[in-house]
Amino acid sequence: MNESQEKRILNNVSPGTKKVGLGERLIALEKTVAVLPRQAVAVDDAAGANPTKAEFDALLDALRASGVIAE
């Protein structure tokens, strides 16, 4: 195998890829991070073995406000 054959093989190892600058990577990262859910606010622990409707609603409200579940 000569040098030109090696270059041709190496150039075709990952077809379709391109070099990207740091700015392009940061823009892509910002778009990805923006869709991640935020941390929900703290909700008090249930008072007993069976949570009340109010306790359950507080948990659902916190999850909705943080974007973890749909509103």
Q: What is the pLDDT of residues 14-29, one digit of tens each?
A: 656 666 666 666 666 6
Residue 60: which pLDDT band, with cuts at 50, 70 and 90? very high
Rg from Cα positions in the chain = 25
DSSP 3-state of 23: helix
Does this model's pTM top 0.75? My answer is no
pLDDT at residue 44 in the model: 87
CB 17 within 8 A of CB 26: no
What's the one-letter identity of residue 3? E
